[in-house]
Amino acid sequence: MLMSSICLTIFAANSAYSSIAPFYPNEALAKGVPPYTFGLIFACYSVAMFIASPLVNGAMNKYGRKKVMITGCLCEGIAMLAMALIDYTDSGVAFALLSALCRMVEGTGNACLNASASAII
């Protein structure tokens, strides 16, 4: 039960990273976002994850793996829901900036979730 719950959560969380790949570039292009920024927007997720990883290690030692895991999962879930709302923006710049911001929050959440899950397993 524990393993399957963690695996399913990791499955959903990691698919959040790449699920936008098949449709996001076209949508962003339609909103007026320049193509060369796609890579940067995609990478925001990982930049946040990379920066957060050493901090997550400290947080796990201080607050425990379970709390870090739950916080990360909630953080990533809320950021995903927030990303659905950026469709309402008409400006290309706002679309790109809000996408980048949501991706950063998702990445931070994923760092918490992935590191704590690996440590628990």
Partner 1 sequence: MLFGPLIGSLLYMAGGFKAPFIVVGLILIVSTFVLSKVVPHETKHEIVERFNASHSIEVQNSNGKDSFWQVCSIPYISLTIIATAACEMGLVFKEPIMQLRLLHDFNLNIGIVGVIFSIDVLTFCGTCFILGRIDEKKKPFHRLIAAGLFVFSLAHLLSGPSPWIFPDSLGILITGSLLLGVGGSFIKTSSIASMHQTYTFLFGKTTPRAQNAIASVNCSGQALGQIVGPILGSFMTDWLTYRLAFFISSIMFLVFAIVFTMVTNCEEKRRRGGILDQKYTKMPSENNGVQMGE
Judged by the rule CB under 8 A, the positions of this chain that interact with partner 1 are 1-2, 5-6, 8-9, 11-23, 25-27, 35-36, 38-40, 42-43, 45-47, 49-50, 53-54, 56-58, 60-66, 69-70, 73-74, 76-81, 83-85, 87, 107, 111, 114-120
Total length of the chain: 121
Cβ nearer to partner 1, comparing 93 with 119: 119
Sign of the alpha-carbon torsion through 119, 107, 83, 24:
negative
Nearer to partner 1, 93 or 120 (CB): 120
CA distance 115 to 118: 5
Centroid of chain to Cα 41 = 11
